[in-house]
Amino acid sequence: MKRVKLSIAGLSTGQTSGSYTLILAEENSRRKLPVVIGSFEAQAIAIEIEKIVPFRPMTHDLFVNFFNLFDITMHEVVIYSLSEGVFHAKMICEFQGEVKELDARTSDSIALAVRFKCPIYTYEDIMDAASIEFNDDLHEAAEATVQKTKAKQEPEPTREYTKMTLDQLHAMLEKSLSIEDYITAAKIRDEIQRREK
């Protein structure tokens, strides 16, 4: 499968509170890959892009210090999968001459990629499925991302968590966490904790 090299085109505020859209641009193309990320990751990416030095090391800076201390080299980030509207990424690193792949959230991978100044790639099939062609309007891309993500995800039915068994709740919690649906996961967790008191 053909790889596509991406660069960061910008950040835009998302449609929901606390969300942002990271716009990744394909080289020599109008295609952009919008990725919805959280506010903490958006802040971590923006701080590095703007060369702002925080008072104390943030989490991603701590990772950089750790990698440097133990002589781990980060070569690239690959966004390798899109499942139920969620992008999956891996970091390709080298330690003591061996190349290793680390599975990571796309937002965290990119926050580290900008710090290590390493390339970001994805595959042509992911670009075909999720990219948008537009000029320079980041808000247009953000809105299109929300619409595409909604279209790919099944509508969330009204759930009456109080009528479900604990086994059902734990299964739903695992599924919500696997697709990074933290809002639903928090509601399910609250119901589980309420019962276990």
Higher pLDDT, 152 or 103: 103
Residue type (1 letter), 164:
M
What pLDDT shows up at residue 156? 43
Please write the tens of the pLDDT for every residue from 5-50: 999 998 887 666 678 889 999 988 889 999 999 888 988 898 898 8
- From the list 73, 113, 77, 115, the residue with the least C-alpha distance to 94 is 73
Distance, CA of 65 to CA of 83 (rounded, Å)? 32
Using alpha carbons, list the distances in angstroms from residue 9 to 5, 95, 183.
13, 30, 28
Contact 109, 124 (CB under 8 A): no
- From the list 74, 77, 81, 105, the residue with the least C-alpha distance to 1 is 81
At residue 103 the predicted structure's pLDDT band, cuts being 50, 70 and 90, is very high
> Under CATH, what is the fold of the domain 3-152?
Bifunctional nuclease domain (3.10.690)
Contact 88, 104 (CB under 8 A): no
Domain ranges of the chain: 3-152, 161-196
What pLDDT shows up at residue 152? 43
Q: Residue 187 pLDDT > 80, yes or no?
A: no
Please write the tens of the pLDDT for every residue from 127-159: 999 998 865 555 555 555 545 544 444 434 445
Distance, CA of 149 to CA of 141 (rounded, Å)? 12
Higher pLDDT, 54 or 152: 54
- DSSP E strands: which ranges in 39-163? 72-83, 86-95, 98-105, 120-123, 132-133
Higher pLDDT, 74 or 186: 74
At residue 52 the predicted structure's pLDDT band, cuts being 50, 70 and 90, is confident
Distance, CA of 108 to CA of 125 (rounded, Å)? 22
At residue 117 the predicted structure's pLDDT band, cuts being 50, 70 and 90, is very high
